[in-house]
Amino acid sequence: MPLSVIHSYAYDSASAALEVTFFSGRRYRYFLVPAYVADGLHEAFSMGRYFNERIRDRFPFEELETAAEAAIAASAVISPGTGSRRRP
């Protein structure tokens, strides 16, 4: 079986949205993807080739936060300022 750049994917038939996670860690959500296209990804001999030919640049998409970015955002602590104020 050929190597793929796609780590995982999930399809939501109710919203026709396909989420794809690449081995690079980048994640994307593709909109208006018909079920037969998502099914084809599952059946494809090469998911990377199928993705490039049938999904990439054919559906509107958004880039999602990566797991690393989410972890950084979750651990960020906003501390109050420690500066002093002058009285008028």
Residue 20 in contact with residue 6, Cβ under 8 Å?
yes
Residue 40 phi, psi dihedral angles, 5° rounding: -65, -35
57's torsion region: left (phi>0), alpha (psi -120 to 50) or beta? left
For the stretch 12-65, pLDDT in tens is 999 999 999 999 889 999 999 999 999 999 999 999 999 999 999 999 999 998
The number of beta carbons lying within 10 Å of the beta carbon of residue 14 is: 5
Does the pTM of the predicted model rise above 0.85?
no
Whole-angstrom distance, CA of residue 64 vs CA of residue 25: 10
pLDDT exceeds 80 at position 3: no
Residue 9: beta bridge partners? 20
More confident residue, 17 or 70: 17
